[in-house]
Amino acid sequence: MKRALIIASIIISIVFVGACGKKVTTENASASADTKKIKIVTTIYPEYDWVNNIIKGKEDKFDVSILMTSGIDLHNFQPTAKDILDIGTADLFIYVGGESDKWADGAIRQAVNKDLKAINLMELLKDKVKVEELKEGMEEEEHHHDEEEGEEHEGEEEHHEEEIEYDEHVWLSLENAMIVCAHLTNEILALDYDNANVYENNLTTYLAELNKLNDEYKNVVSSAKRKVLLFGDRFPFRYMVDDYGIDYFAAFKGCAAETEASFKTIKFLADKLGEENLPYVMKIERSDEKIARAVIENSSKKDAKIETMYSIQAVSSDEMKKGETYLSYMKKNLEVLKKVLN
């Protein structure tokens, strides 16, 4: 309900800005007509980086942008009027899908470019998308339904019970990344078939890199001393651990909004830390170590250390300028696994 109201207000503001700014747009139209680039808008960094790998060597033909550059992840992102306008005037829009991206549906419906092609990663991956898993010891989320709607309709309670939450972190599977990149290449070919050979060759090179890293993950996990991770944090790595047969315990599900864990959850994780004789408690980037420290302090493993893994959903513009890529973050995660599983 809240996001729907936000999108409605943004669309109204775009109409107003468009009416007030028509003169500026018209003045620039003739100057840009001959240099019009193929416009691609992405929401998160993995999508942005995949596209740039595919179009390498032909970047001058494209205007590729990313919406989330401030370090805010997709669960907390709220689009601006400019974001909605950018999407609506794009040739290709790539987004994750799922509950966090519900706002995108309104932006797509209101698109100025009626030929806009939108790619929802979760719809693309279909049966590879996983249902959120509530593991033993995790905090259970409280579901709040709008009280403003008054009395529940007949059967509404049953509908709430049947709601399914899907894990949105599909990019943390290298196998999923390969599927998505192949599909993105086809979409880019449709926009610029004259340079098909360039994009196909780039795809072949990039898929080889992804596949090589995938094999390295398999080798590291297959030879590891242990195959369990313990997160004093949210757990967005379900796709990754399922790919390689790693078990896990965590304070929260991947898409959980909570940041405070109950003593019951901390005690459960602390006991598991001792039972499994684990040398590390994990957290994700940009997360404080509060829960991880509490787990260690309440366990028999007072010498346990804290390690960080990268969910790659909140990459800042500064990190991009430093040259970080999807592959560089996934390689960092591999190095962490080598350390914590042995």
Portion of the chain with pLDDT greater than 70, in percent: 82
Pair 95, 121: CB distance under 8 Å: yes
- Specify the range with the lowest mean pLDDT, choosing from 121-125, 140-144, 153-157, 298-302: 153-157
Q: Is residue 158 part of a domain?
A: no
Listing from the earlier edge strand, what are the strands of the sheet with 38-42? 62-66, 38-42, 92-95, 117-120
User: What are residue 65's DSSP bridge partners?
Assistant: 41
Question: Tell me: the pLDDT tens digits for 14-30?
Answer: 333 333 333 323 333 33
Portion of the chain with pLDDT greater than 90, in percent: 72
Domain shared by 200 and 235, yes or no: no
Average pLDDT over residues 232-246: 97
Q: Is residue 285 part of a domain?
A: yes
The domain tally of the chain equals 2
How many residues are given for the chain? 342
Q: Which helix H or strand E contains 54, and what residues bound it?
A: helix 45-54
Q: Is residue 301 part of a domain?
A: yes
Average pLDDT over residues 206-234: 97
* Whole-number pLDDT of residue 157: 45
* Whole-number pLDDT of residue 144: 43
Look up the pTM and report it.
Answer: 0.84
Q: Given a cut of 60, is residue 147 above it in pLDDT?
A: no
Question: Which tokens in the block code for residue 261?
Answer: 């864990």
Average pLDDT over residues 233-243: 96
Domain shared by 75 and 9, yes or no: yes
Mean per-residue pLDDT over the chain, rounded = 86
Domain shared by 51 and 87, yes or no: yes
> Domain range for residue 97?
2-24+36-128+168-209
The pairs formed by 50-53 with CB atoms below 8 angstroms and a separation of 24 or more are 50/177, 50/180, 50/181, 50/184, 50/206, 50/326, 51/94, 51/184, 51/188, 53/181, 53/202, 53/206
* Whole-number pLDDT of residue 193: 97
330 band by pLDDT with thresholds 50, 70 and 90: very high
- The C-alpha atoms of residue 287 and residue 306 are separated, in whole angstroms, by 12
Pair 337, 220: CB distance under 8 Å: yes
Angle at the Cα of 107 (from 19 to 87), degrees rounded to 5? 80
Domain shared by 193 and 65, yes or no: yes
Q: Is residue 142 part of a domain?
A: no
Domain shared by 233 and 291, yes or no: yes
Average pLDDT over residues 247-268: 87
DSSP for 11-33, written as a single string: HHHHHHHHHHTHHHHHHHHHHHH
Domain shared by 96 and 13, yes or no: yes
- The C-alpha atoms of residue 289 and residue 306 are separated, in whole angstroms, by 8
Residues 6+ apart with CB under 8 A from 178: 207, 210, 211, 214
Q: Given a cut of 90, is residue 214 above it in pLDDT?
A: yes
Average pLDDT over residues 220-230: 98
Domain shared by 183 and 253, yes or no: no
Pair 175, 45: CB distance under 8 Å: no
What's 53's domain CATH number? 3.40.50.1980
Half-sphere exposure (Cβ direction) of 62: Cα atoms closer than 13 Å? 23
Q: Is residue 334 part of a domain?
A: no
